[in-house]
Structures are given as structure tokens and as C-alpha cells.
Amino acid sequence: MDDITGLVLAGGRGTRMGGVDKGLLPFRGLPLAQHALQRLAPQVGSCMVNANRHLERYAAFGVPVYPDSLADYAGPLAGFLCGLAHCSTPWLLTVPCDTPLFPHDLAQRLARAAAAENAEIAFAAAPEIDAQGHTRWRDQPVFCLLQASLRPSLLRYTAEGGRKIDAWARAQRCISVAFDQPGDDARAFANANTPQELHALENAR
């Protein structure tokens, strides 16, 4: 656990939420990002937040807050790069602020799989039902455990204009880890991109 630093990604534009700072929207009595932070903190040695607005409000959560070094809301990889720049442990674990029900054993399961496969990056993968009612697996690349030593590679990729997590990650030793154990919450990786989705998650039991 002490080898992993946790990072809550809260630096997006919140476009589908009407441009609001999504991480500060209320969820069961707490801001979304704080809820994610409290869920992540017991799983890792230390935590930080990546945010680009209202930094003083995020700082009130009690952990370091860092903005993107890339301009113009460059997406999750900008958050990854921010986290790696401030990570003092061998591994960084990223989680988005808008998926508040992610597994309590996320770090453990990703780390175990990475060690077993000698991987540099481990994504979570979860089942979802498509329009035809078929179950298919989908990577959740923002739920990412990655080696801190990958920072030079990510710096090069983003400096060349790259912004796709998958495209960069698949050039490394990368694995997908299926979250398909008995008792896993089917909503664990459901995210709130719209007010309606947030309301549905808040009322899920």
C-alpha cells in the first residue's frame, strides 16, 4: 500500500454537466471528489487531487492539490502527467472524481495483477450490457495503476500532441484486470456525466 500514491482526477471541463466543476457537485452529503478521495485513501499510502478550478476548495479536503501542466484542459492524460510529476512512490493509482462507487479493493487487485504479469500499467475492466443485451468487457482506463518511472514516456507522448490514454498505454507493458468476482457491484464503474446520471447513482442502493 505504501508503494502507491492515489490521485483523484477532477480537472475536467464538466461539459455535459453544463460546465460546472463536477468534482464539487454534492453526492450523499459530500462533494463528488471528496467522496472519491475518502474511498481511495484507505487503499494507498497517500493521496492528492488534480484540479484546474477552485483549488482552495479542493485544498480544504486536506491533501495536496495540483493543476495540469498542459494547457486547455488536455484530458485525463494531463492529470496522469500532473500526478507523476508529484509522485514520490513507485506507483500511481488514478481514479476519476465522477465514479463514486468504485471498488474498495481497487488498488489491491490492480497491484496483484500487475505484479503477476510484470506489467507497467494495469487498467480496470468491467462488464456492460450493449444495446442487444449482450455482455461485453470494457476497459476503464482512468482507473489506472501505473509505474512512476513512465513519466518520461508520457512527457514525450503528450509533447507530440498525444491525448489518448489507450494509445499511449498500449505501447507499454499494459494489462486489463477484470472486476468480475462474486459480490462485485455492477455499478462500481458507473460514472456521472449528466445531472440525471448523478441523481441515479445517488439514489442507488
CB 204: neighbour CB atoms within 10 A?
Answer: 11
Residue 137's alpha-carbon distances to 83, 104, 124, 185, in angstroms, are 27, 20, 10, 15
Contacts 24+ apart (CB under 8 A), 54-61: 54/21, 54/24, 57/24, 57/31, 58/10, 58/23, 58/24, 58/33, 61/31, 61/33, 61/34, 61/37
37 is in an annotated binding site: no
| 6 assigned to a ligand binding site | no
- 203 annotated as ligand-binding: no
Cβ proximity of 89 and 45 under 8 Å: yes
Question: How far apart are the C-alpha atoms of 156 and 135, rounded to whole Å?
Answer: 37
Is 68 known to sit in a ligand binding site?
yes
Q: Residue 190 has what DSSP assignment?
A: -
Q: What residue type is 82 in one-letter code?
A: C
Directed axis angle between helix 76-85 and helix 151-159, to 10°? 140
Query: How far is the C-alpha of 188 from the C-alpha of 118, rounded, in Å?
Result: 26
Question: Does 130 count as an annotated binding residue?
Answer: no
The answer to whether 139 is annotated as binding is: no
The annotation status of 9 as a binding-site residue, yes or no, is: yes
Binding residues for Mg(2+): 98
Binding residues for GTP: 9-11, 22, 50, 68, 98
Binding residues: 9-11, 22, 50, 68, 98
